[in-house]
Amino acid sequence: MKTAPKTALIFGIGGQDGSWLAQLLLEHGYSVHGTSRDREASGFTNLRRLGLFEQVRLHSAVLTDFRSVVQVIHEVRPSEIYNLAGQSSVGLSFEQPVETLSSTTLGTVNILEAIRFLGIEARFYNASSSECFGNTDQGPANESHPFHPRSPYGVGKAAAYWAVANYRESYNLFACSGILFNHESPLRPSRYVTQKIVRGAADIAERKTDRLRLGQLAIERDWGWAPEYVDAMWRMLNHDQPEDFVIATGEAHPLEEFVNAAFAYFGLDWRTHVEIDAGLLRPSDITHSVGNPQKAERLLGWQAQTKMPAMVHKLIDAEMERRRGSLLMA
């Protein structure tokens, strides 16, 4: 007798992680459903870019509206639920703190409460963030490292993390959080500094401009490759028990090193073209952020394969391919 495929529901399927996760789950034979605020108005550019738009079922849902969340979970009856929705830009969270906190914290609680209210046997993954830790000057952060967020985004993620832990302990839900450090891919929006650097270096190489304005270059981040990180999410929900995991490469690199690698790809000296703009500095920022992924390696068999230098090359290769495609379509 043929076994019915597992059903997954991804809140925020149109974002970078949601689209990569949809691809992974489809490869594993899942029936994949996903949500957006308005499925008719959303372009789902990332799903289309990966050739997945026709392979997933899309629904409208607003995370801050409990009835909306209950309705879509009741309709789909998923075995796995992934919460990747909410305002996801750290920089933008300083401009939109209320929206960021509401979508991140209340949205997570609404999903947890909907699972409890409906009484379904769904496993729940919550996208937490290294922003919860703030600076990790005392060494790479593991799962017991104290939280000290330095942005509205980090505050919201920290609150959501503890909500998940509370529901897991109070109601015996299979609910866990992945504390993911920075992870990039060509699906990132242009407002993210990694895409800004990659596109800026490409524009300079093509003589479209001569300058790139950036903020603080001394900050250090633990950068990984997004398609690998969604695999860790899936492994968490297929682990034998619900646990929280730090997902990271274990290596920190200054933003200046990222910039240098991007410009060197084109044979350029970044110091000739990059200007520091004080107006791009955040009210508060994390100077050093690096994670300790040993628990994920030990219990999930997960390990980052793509480190920062290779990641930069992958981003630029994809950007140049995108530009060649645009040229062919012109």
CB 126 within 8 A of CB 164: yes
Quickly tell me which residue has 């899309």 as its tokens: 58
Cα(13)–Cα(82) distance, integer angstroms: 9
Q: Which member of 80, 131, 220, 228 is catalytic?
A: 131
153 is catalytic: yes
Cα(25)–Cα(230) distance, integer angstroms: 10
Quickly tell me which residue has 């609910």 as its tokens: 175
Strand locations in the chain (E): 7-11, 31-36, 57-60, 80-83, 123-129, 175-180, 183-184, 212-214, 220-221, 224-225, 245-247, 253-254, 274-276
Q: Which member of 30, 153, 167, 265 is catalytic?
A: 153
CB 156 within 8 A of CB 225: no
CB 60 within 8 A of CB 41: no
Strand partners, 179: 128, 246
89 is catalytic: no
Cα(49)–Cα(137) distance, integer angstroms: 39
CB 33 within 8 A of CB 79: no
DSSP annotation of 250 reads S
Cα(100)–Cα(94) distance, integer angstroms: 9
Q: Which member of 93, 129, 151, 185 is catalytic?
A: 129
265 is catalytic: no
Q: Which of 119, 181, 131 is nearest to 284 (CA)?
A: 131
Cα(157)–Cα(104) distance, integer angstroms: 6
Catalytic residues: 129, 131, 153
